[in-house]
Structure 1
Amino acid sequence: MQSSYSTRELAPQQRRQAWQNAIAEIYFPLELAFLGSRIFEGTLEAWRLGPVSISRNCSNGLLYRRHEHHLVEERDESFLITVPEISEVRFVQDGQDVSCQPGGFLIERSHLPYEFSHREPASLWVLKVPRDVLEARISRPERLATLRFDARSGAGALFVDMLRIAVARIEEFDDAARHLIGGQLVELLAASVTSDRRVLSGSSSPVKNAHLYRAEEIIRSRLGEPDLTPQSVADACGISLRYLQQIFEAENTTVGGHIRSQRLALCDQRLRDPRFRGSISEIAYDCGFGDQAQFSRTYRARFGRTPSEARAEARRAG
């Protein structure tokens, strides 16, 4: 599905409000301040690929502000991965101020106030990813916000190349293939950011960060095992359970909580994926939950709806 907006056919006095409406439709509500040219010009196109979307945003200089009042009625958090093509952009969130030139990309978090701006005319590629989809690949994705990543080589360059290729050939694919491509884009994004040492470097020492990375990898690869426990993760890492707990406590979480969160995110992803035709109980068991009733209660507490409601909602949207 494609959405397209352009100011070309509009009277100059109508363009700014039309652009504000288009931005709210494609991303979420924002306050806009128009910079530079008196007559605003912009084009905005967006394409759905399963739970994620790609957009191409071309416009004169702009300042976008996300305020606290925009968050009051927002429930589902998203991350915007923004790739500037022709001009430098500036992003301010949570006390961090970062600029990004072509050849890199930024990650923005929807559930915190922010400012995003470019003074010169800009062309931006933007991948919008729901938090649960990103969290299924990258633990605690909020750590990525305000980081600038390299897109000139390696996985970062491949990620940006695939954004462009996916849009260029999107009409050749059916809905199932688009859903698959959306997932592959998120996998490439995860590969590019997890190869950056900053993603795992918090307040812990390099040794603790190495154990944290190893534990995260073990948990992601063994979510389907119902007997995956903090002790078994510690054993696989070759460290004591207490030491492992201290590492996760430094990240403001627990080992058991992280395992549960990753399992729930994977279940939610599969419930919303039209390719997964299995029953809800099969999805729960495949993701490591041994008790379907307990899974349903935990899922509802996390997402505010039952697994059946989530699947029905995804089918209606499809």
Structure 2
Amino acid sequence: MKREVHLRSATDKNTYRDLISSVFASYDLRFSPNRQFSAEVKCVDIRDFKFARVHANNQLGVRQHRQVEKDQKDELVLFTSLSGTIHLTQNNREVTVRPGELGLYDLGSPSIWKHGDPTAVLNLVLPGEVLRRRLSGVSRTTSFPYVVSSGVSRLSHGFFVGLWNEVEAISSFDAELCTGYLADLLALSIERGEKSLPLNRPSARRALYHRSIAFIRSHLEDPDLDPQGIAEAVGISVRYLHQIFEEAGQSVCACLRDARLERGHAELSRPRTLAYPISEIARRSGFRNPSHFATAFKRRYGLSPREQQNLANSRED
């Protein structure tokens, strides 16, 4: 697994601009006059995810249309304040995030952020696709600021900060796995934005979609899992289940297959997996036939299960 840790300090504004550009995207940065500048950026890169803790003085960051068009970023930024207050404006919405609260914004749209002096911000940059495939749709023109108050949202915040505190102590594989769990919690927080809604409301359909995904992932070992069983567990008809998945751009069966392959890939990516036969990993992923698993796995990942297993065992953590 790839894990890179960088701790860089900036005593001049140009160095800091370069740091922000490399970690996030291109911004026009503006600083308060007559203040001594200092900043520190600590980054932990895990595959497609980038954690970054930023300590800096009073400043304003503006990401303009020209920079969005040049960068072509399809990434989201989850962030929380460790100290100080952050103000974010995107798509004509302005939100304020304080310690204990979460914000989410899109690098694919113009934005403005500003914060006081001093401020410590914890960020996670993640591919937009990571969240989109966990939801029934993430609009490319909508920012998602959230106030953490209770339930899943509070759990998301606690998991985010806790993962950052432990990300260097745990294995790279576990760090990547936990980052995926954080994305699951974030998606669940979004889906739980409204409660007790009629089933024909878009937000209710999204919640049902996410509930179905959660049920699928928790029952992957069952080779008999099918749309009928999923619909019964969620409490809707099979026809309606297919409808909400079609709205998300994926069939129920394709989602089930992909989730099983992802489980198998995760198992085969663990170091020292040679002790487990491929047939056992296929079974734990919900495949009755190991050859069917091997064929689908190679089509998806470009490697056979055995090749993936050997690759994982050859890596040094």
Q: Check conservation: 1:50, 1:182, Cα contact below 8 A.
A: no
Give the Cα–Cα distance (whole angstroms) in 2 for the partners of residues 151 and 298 of structure 1.
41
Give the Cα–Cα distance (whole angstroms) in 2 for the partners of residues 163 and 21 of structure 1.
26
How is 1:179-198 mapped onto 2 (pairs within 5 angstroms)? Answer: 182=179, 185-186=182-183, 188-189=185-186, 192-197=189-194
Give the superposition deviation at 1:231: 3.4
Q: Check conservation: 2:245, 2:252, Cα contact below 8 A.
A: yes
Q: Residue 29 of structure 2 aligns to which amino acid in structure 1? A: F
Equivalent in the alignment of 2:120: 123
Equivalent in the alignment of 1:287: 285
Equivalent in the alignment of 1:37: 32
Tell me if 1:105 matches 2:102. yes
Q: Residue 300 of structure 2 aligns to which amino acid in structure 1? A: Y
Q: Residue 33 of structure 1 aligns to which amino acid in structure 2? A: D
2:84 to 83, 86, 96: 86
Give the Cα–Cα distance (whole angstroms) in 2 for the partners of residues 5 and 281 of structure 1.
46
Question: Residue 296 of structure 2: SS of its match in structure 1?
Answer: helix
Give the Cα–Cα distance (whole angstroms) in 1 for the partners of residues 265 and 127 of structure 2.
11
Provide closer, same or farther for how the CA distance between residues 221 and 45 of structure 1 changes in structure 2, counting only shifts above 3 A. Answer: same
Q: Check conservation: 2:191, 2:210, Cα contact below 8 A.
A: no
Q: Check conservation: 2:51, 2:125, Cα contact below 8 A.
A: yes
Question: Residue 148 of structure 1: SS of its match in structure 2?
Answer: coil
Give the Cα–Cα distance (whole angstroms) in 1 for the partners of residues 214 and 283 of structure 2.
20
Question: Residue 31 of structure 2: SS of its match in structure 1?
Answer: coil
Give the Cα–Cα distance (whole angstroms) in 2 for the partners of residues 6 and 306 of structure 1.
41
Q: Check conservation: 1:263, 1:287, Cα contact below 8 A.
A: yes
Q: Structure 1, unaligned stretches of length 5 or more? A: none
Equivalent in the alignment of 1:5: 8
Q: Check conservation: 2:260, 2:285, Cα contact below 8 A.
A: yes
Q: Check conservation: 1:134, 1:186, Cα contact below 8 A.
A: yes
1:103-124 CA-to-partner distances (Å, cap 9, x unmatched) read 42122345x3442422645431
Equivalent pairs, count: 297
Provide closer, same or farther for how the CA distance between residues 272 and 21 of structure 1 changes in structure 2, counting only shifts above 3 A. Answer: farther
Give the Cα–Cα distance (whole angstroms) in 1 for the partners of residues 94 and 304 of structure 2.
39
2:238 to 236, 241, 255: 241
Equivalent in the alignment of 2:222: 225
Q: Check conservation: 1:35, 1:119, Cα contact below 8 A.
A: no
Give the Cα–Cα distance (whole angstroms) in 1 for the partners of residues 92 and 258 of structure 2.
27
Q: Check conservation: 2:97, 2:103, Cα contact below 8 A.
A: no
Provide closer, same or farther for how the CA distance between residues 253 and 25 of structure 1 changes in structure 2, counting only shifts above 3 A. Answer: same
TM-score normalised over the length of structure 1? 0.70
What is the CA RMSD across the aligned residues, in angstroms? 4.2
Tell me if 1:151 matches 2:148. yes
Q: Residue 86 of structure 1 aligns to which amino acid in structure 2? A: G
Q: Check conservation: 2:79, 2:103, Cα contact below 8 A.
A: yes
Provide closer, same or farther for how the CA distance between residues 231 and 78 of structure 1 changes in structure 2, counting only shifts above 3 A. Answer: same
**Range moving further from structure 2, 49-58 or 248-257:** 49-58
Question: Residue 89 of structure 1: SS of its match in structure 2?
Answer: strand
Provide closer, same or farther for how the CA distance between residues 268 and 164 of structure 1 changes in structure 2, counting only shifts above 3 A. Answer: same
Equivalent in the alignment of 1:257: 254
Q: Structure 2, unaligned stretches of length 5 or more? A: none
